[in-house]
Amino acid sequence: MAQLQLLRLDHGPALLDFERENRRYFAATIPDRGDDYFAEFDARHAALLAEQEAGTCRFHLVVGDDGAVLGRVNLLDLESGSAELGYRIAERAAGQGLATASVRDVCALARAAYGLTSLTARSALDNPGSRAVLTRNGFTPTADIELNGRPGLHYVRVL
């Protein structure tokens, strides 16, 4: 059974493996992180932990029983009771309800542990899986947007 964990320093190697293993899969629906992301991973990981320590973001990993990272669910730019939700699930774990369950769990944490009252999210129109996850978790589309040069939707969920 997968478990949601707040990002820690010791997650670094497993997180890097996750990003490398799923790079092509993610690039099919969202912009590639680029080679610099992987070359400078340790510094980036440390920067994320610093943001988390400062309270501006909360980074969560979805970790399998074997310790492998199966996904990420992040809350970005925590401010005035709101944050932006972002998530990605490994190709090998896609289509099994893991994204829906992980987003549900982070929504509960956002309210109970972080005191947030609303979340926003974005999804490209050509990413029906992501849009379904948001809808299943009570997010409502509020505006048409352009997302990385593609048509998309902006979503809001009141917690």
Residue 148's pLDDT is 86
Q: How far apart are CA 114 and CA 151, in angstroms?
A: 31
Burial of 25 (0-12, 13-18, 19+ CB in 10 A): middle
Q: What average pLDDT does the segment 11-36 reach?
A: 93
Helix 128-136, helix 98-112: angle, nearest 10: 40
DSSP 66: T
Q: How far apart are CA 57 and CA 3, in angstroms?
A: 19
Q: What average pLDDT does the segment 74-82 reach?
A: 97
Q: What average pLDDT does the segment 134-159 reach?
A: 96
Residue 41 has pLDDT above 90, yes or no: yes
Residue 29's pLDDT is 84
